[in-house]
Amino acid sequence: MTSGGAWRAVAVGHRRTEGEPPYERGPRPGEPLARRGGFAVHGAVGSVRATDGGRTLWTRSFAGRPHAAHLSGGRVLVTTDSLEYTPWGHLGPALLLDLADGRLVATLRGATGAALGGGRFLLGLEGYDVFETVAYDRDGTETDRWASYGHYVVGTGVRVVEADRRTPTSNRVVRLLPGGVVTPGPKLSDSLPPEPVVLPDGTLLVLDGGAIHAVGRGLDRTVLAELRPHEDARAIRTLRRDGDRLVAVIAEPRAAGTARWTVDTWTFRLTSRGAGS
């Protein structure tokens, strides 16, 4: 049994197989990009469509492929891929739309988004010497900017599990404050960490290298579970929570130029110290 602050993890299983790495995938076919009650935003090549109770409210056409949508107030932010190669690779425009009728409010640039309150959003971009997060209001006007990018966790403020894709990496878990201030937290060893797990009390579980770390709201870090030494920079990792189970996967290529991967999967029973078990 291992513990991290208010949480502890009890190992219940480990298996090693050969197979495909655990790529982080988007919505399954037919699954909406975003949902709020009976309202949903669906994506297809060349369009996004809003429905309410299964009834189509509006459709917005554009040249590209939507891959994520975020809802806030009366707005929806849709990030897209370009169907053609551009100076930014296959990055497409980020579309800020009116939720009522699909009207285009603003065309922005960014790869990863997150919803704030009141129709406001974060939009991040990394690559080509850019590593930034920009805040926009409901009209698409920039209101703040930070030198940070990665997985966004919005709650009592904004935390970021950074992903700079650089070797050596400068990644940390950080907090974004008004005025472009970035408060640094614990360092990370991986240049492209997987999406963190967010627990009910705001604790972040971050799979970094060969360990699962628990990072609190104050950016304090403890080790929740040690997995195994991890040295291959090509490894692909995921971390997910299924009920009271925490599942960590690390896949490493067996040899250069092959499609054979060794996939290790660890399962833990996750409990709160206050639960008494």
Write out 251-269 in H/E/C secondary structure: EEECCCCCCCEEEEEEEEE
The pLDDT of residue 252 is above 80: yes
Which pLDDT does position 214 carry in this prediction? 97
Which strands sit side by side in the sheet containing 197-198, from one edge to the other? 197-198, 204-208, 211-215, 221-226
Which pLDDT does position 256 carry in this prediction? 65
**Residue 232's pLDDT band (boundaries 50, 70, 90)?**
confident
Which pLDDT does position 145 carry in this prediction? 98
The pLDDT of residue 42 is above 80: yes
Q: pLDDT tens across 83-101, in order?
A: 998 888 899 999 999 999 9
Residue type, 35: R
Mean pLDDT of 17-37: 83
Which pLDDT does position 127 carry in this prediction? 87
Whether 134 contacts 144, CB under 8 Å:
yes
Mean pLDDT of 89-114: 96
Q: Which has more pLDDT, 223 or 256?
A: 223
Mean pLDDT of 16-31: 79
Whether 122 contacts 133, CB under 8 Å:
yes
Q: Which has more pLDDT, 76 or 230?
A: 76
**Residue 54's pLDDT band (boundaries 50, 70, 90)?**
confident
Which pLDDT does position 46 carry in this prediction? 96
The pLDDT of residue 277 is above 50: no
Residue type, 198: V
- CB-count burial class (<10 Å; 0-12, 13-18, 19+) for 5: middle
Q: Mean pLDDT check: name the lowest of 102-106, 165-169, 255-259.
A: 255-259
Q: What is the mean pLDDT of the chain?
A: 92
**Residue 255's pLDDT band (boundaries 50, 70, 90)?**
confident
The pLDDT of residue 4 is above 60: no
**Residue 276's pLDDT band (boundaries 50, 70, 90)?**
very low
The pLDDT of residue 21 is above 50: yes
Q: What is the pTM of this model?
A: 0.92
Give the span between the Cα atoms of 149 and 162, in whole angstroms: 5
